[in-house]
């Protein structure tokens, strides 16, 4: 048996409603219904991403959230997303580059998680 790649990623967040609105309204992700009242999920039909209230015992103020973990999303219009986020005042943490994955940049979400976006698979 061979394990596959990640099929679900979630961030523990301080304000579930604010993070859900950020990813839906500012980033433009498609929200999907979930039975868990402690989470908001988004999917493009392949991989599911969620924001959720912290798991018991997790202190979101204890250090750098997500330190050492890279979360990348693909967007065929990464340049357009970059413009929308920058215009909305979202912190761009890595300036755009044309790299091996095409147009690539990173931004910080409301909790300070760094999210990288690239245009090519």
Which tops the pLDDT comparison, 34 or 54? 34
Q: Are strands 71-74 and 114-118 parallel, antiparallel or unpaired?
A: parallel
- Name the DSSP class of 29: -
- Identify the pLDDT of residue 64: 66
- Identify the pLDDT of residue 66: 72
**Residue 47 within any structural domain of the chain:** yes
pLDDT in tens, 101-120: 999 999 999 998 999 999 98
Which tops the pLDDT comparison, 22 or 3? 22
**Residue 51 within any structural domain of the chain:** yes
| Six-digit token string for 47 | 């991989």
Number of compact structural domains in the chain: 1
- Identify the pLDDT of residue 8: 86
CATH of the domain at 99: 3.10.180.10
Domain that holds residue 24: 8-55+71-118
The pLDDT > 70 percentage for the chain reads 96
Confidence band for 2, pLDDT divided at 50, 70 and 90:
confident
**Residue 3 within any structural domain of the chain:** no
The residues, any chain, with a CB within 8 Å of residue 38's CB and separated by 6 or more, are: 16, 52, 53
**Residue 64 within any structural domain of the chain:** no
**Residue 62 within any structural domain of the chain:** no
The average pLDDT across 33-62 equals: 87
């Amino acid at each position: 048996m061979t394990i596959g790649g990640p099929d679900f990623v979630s961030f523990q967040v301080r304000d579930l409603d604010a993070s859900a609105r950020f990813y839906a309204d500012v980033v433009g992700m498609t929200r999907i219904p979930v039975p868990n009242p402690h989470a908001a999920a988004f999917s493009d039909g392949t991989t599911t991403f969620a924001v959720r209230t912290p798991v018991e015992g997790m202190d979101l103020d204890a250090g750098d959230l997500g330190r050492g973990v890279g979360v990348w999303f693909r967007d065929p219009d990464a340049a357009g997303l970059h413009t929308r986020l920058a215009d909305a005042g979202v912190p761009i943490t890595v300036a755009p580059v044309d790299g091996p994955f095409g147009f690539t940049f990173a931004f910080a979400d409301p909790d300070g998680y760094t999210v990288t976006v690239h245009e090519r698979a």
